[in-house]
Structure 1
Amino acid sequence: MFIKKLEKEFGNKFIIDDRTITEFSTSPYLVSPVLSKMGSRVLGVVSASDEQDVINTVKFCDENRIPLLARGAGTSTIGQVLPITPSIALDMRKLKGEMEYDKSLRISPGVKVLDALAYLRKRGKELQVYPSSFYISTLGGYIAGGDVGIGSYQYGYHFHNDGVKSVRVVGPSGTYVLSGIETLAVSQAAGVTGVITEAELAVVDLEDWKDQLIRFRDIEDVVALLKDLERYRQKIRRITVEDKDALSTVARDRVTAGDWNVIISSTQNFGEEVELRFLDELAFAAIYVTMSKLTKFQQYFYEVRLLSLGSFLRVVKQVKRALGSKVLIHGDVMTLRGETIVYTVFMSERSNFDLIDSIMLKEGIPFEIHSLEVNDRVDEDFRLELMKKYKQKVDPHNILNPGKLRL
Structure 2
Amino acid sequence: MESLVKELEKEFGSRFVTKREIIDQYSSSPYLVSPILSKMGKRILGVVIPEDVEEIKHVLEFCDLNKVPLLARGAGTSTIGQVLPITQSIVLDIQKLNKTLEYDKTLKISPGVKVLSALNYLRKRGKELQVYPSSFYISTLGGYIAGGDVGIGSFQYGYHFHNDGVKAVKVMGTTGSLNLVGDKTLAVSQAAGTTGIITEAELSVIDYEDWKDQLIRTEDIGEVVKLLKVLEKDKQSIRRITVEDRETLSLVAKDRVFAGKWNVIVSSTKSYGEEVEMKFLDELAFAAVYVTMSKLTGFSDYFYEVRLLSLESFLRVVGQVKDILGPKVLIHGDVMTLRGETIVYTVFISDRSNFEIIDSIMLKEGIPFEIHSLVVNDRVDEEYRLELMKKYKKIIDPHNILNPGKLRE
TM-score bracket, shorter-length normalisation: over 0.9
Q: State the SS of the aligned residue for 2:257.
A: coil
Inter-partner Cα distance in structure 2 for 1:133 and 1:31:
15
Partner of 2:65: 63
Kept in 1, the 8 Å contact 2:79–2:287? The answer is: yes
Q: 2:406 aligns with which of 399, 404, 407?
A: 404
Q: Distance in 2 between matches of 1:199 and 1:38?
A: 31
Q: 1:5-404 residue pairs with structure 2 within 5 A? A: 5-404=7-406
Q: What amino acid is aligned across from residue 208 of structure 2 in structure 1?
A: L
1:89-142 CA distances to partner (integer Å, 9 max, x unpaired)?
A: 111122234200001110012100011100000000000000000011000000
Three-state SS of the structure 1 residue aligned to 2:279 is coil
Unaligned 5+ segments in structure 2 are none
CA distance in 1, matches of 2:399, 2:284: 41
TM-score, length-scaled by structure 2: 0.98
Aligned-partner Cα distance in 1 for 2:156–2:107: 19
- For 1:146, the aligned partner's letter is G
Distance 1:168 1:145 in 2: 16
Q: Deviations over 1:262-311 (max 9, x none)?
A: 00000111111111111111200011111111111111111011000010
How far has the Cα of 1:70 moved from its partner? 0.6
Cα displacement (A) at 1:359: 0.8
Secondary structure at the aligned position of 2:186 is classed as helix
Q: Which runs of 4+ in 1 moved over 4 A?
A: none
Distance 1:200 1:13 in 2: 28
Return the offset for 1:18: 1.1
- Counterpart contact for 1:50–1:96, Cα < 8 Å: no
1:4 corresponds to which of 6, 18, 28: 6
Q: Distance in 1 between matches of 2:246 and 2:6?
A: 58
- Whole-angstrom CA distance in 2 between matches of 1:406 and 1:59: 23
- The alpha carbon displacement at 1:364 in A equals 5.0
**In the alignment, is the contact (CA less than 8 A) between 2:225 and 2:315 conserved in 1?**
yes
How far apart, CA to CA, are the structure 1 residues paired with 2:361 and 2:242?
Answer: 23
1:156 Cα shift? 0.2
Whichever residue aligns with residue 94 of structure 1, its letter is K
Question: Separation in 2 of the partners of 1:4 and 1:142?
Answer: 33
What is the TM-score with the length of structure 1 in the denominator?
0.99
Tell me how far apart the structure 2 counterparts of residues 74 and 168 of structure 1 sit (CA, whole Å): 21
Aligned-pair CA distance for 1:396: 0.3
Q: Distance in 2 between matches of 1:157 and 1:364?
A: 19
SS at match of 1:400: coil
Q: What RMSD over aligned residues (CA atoms) do the two structures have, in Å?
A: 0.8
Q: Percent identity?
A: 74
CA contact (8 A) 2:95 2:140 kept: no
Structure 1, unpaired ranges of 5+: none
